[in-house]
Amino acid sequence: MRIVISLLFIGLLLGCNNKVEYSQYASLPDGWEAHKPVLFQIEVSDSLTPKDLFIMVRNTEKYPFSNLFLITKMEQPNSNKVIVDTLEYEMATPDGKWLGDGYSAVKESKLWYKEHFTFPSKGKYNIKIEQAMRKIGDNEGVNVLNGITEVGLRVEKR
């Protein structure tokens, strides 16, 4: 009986992450510099099955904004085609409560990037994520965005 319960427990633990096909983080210990994208390289072997893509962001209370603007560039393999998106995410409620998960000073946000997305072809994709924050009334972007400690990319099966 103990063996059966142990095997069920192990199966449950392993089954929780069976949807994740790719998950990688980049650390930003000194802040996120403007015009310095974080690069992720994904090897795609399935161009038929739809996937969900997420941008993962870990922030501290030192993050000075309630939202986050990002520019993403997905370079397709063996092609000059690039899919560019400008994205905005809420990071805090109007009263200043962080929206991410976590009980410590670091909050993790799982942000939709592409929903039900089918990669156009097989091969190696370069995905670049760049912060595009600026202060109100300022034409220049924020040179160094503090409070974002890590940025990640996750690809999940539907």
pTM of the model: 0.86
Query: Where does the pLDDT of residue 4 fall: very low under 50, low under 70, confident under 90, or very high at 90 and above?
Result: very low
The pLDDT of residue 6: 43
Beta strand 123-131 with 20-27: parallel, antiparallel or unpaired?
unpaired
Residues in Cβ contact with 21 at an 8 Å cutoff, skipping those fewer than 6 apart: 51, 155, 156, 157
- pLDDT average, residue stretch 38-65: 96
Residue-wise pLDDT tens digits, 117-131:
999 999 999 999 999
CATH number of the structural domain 19-157: 2.60.120
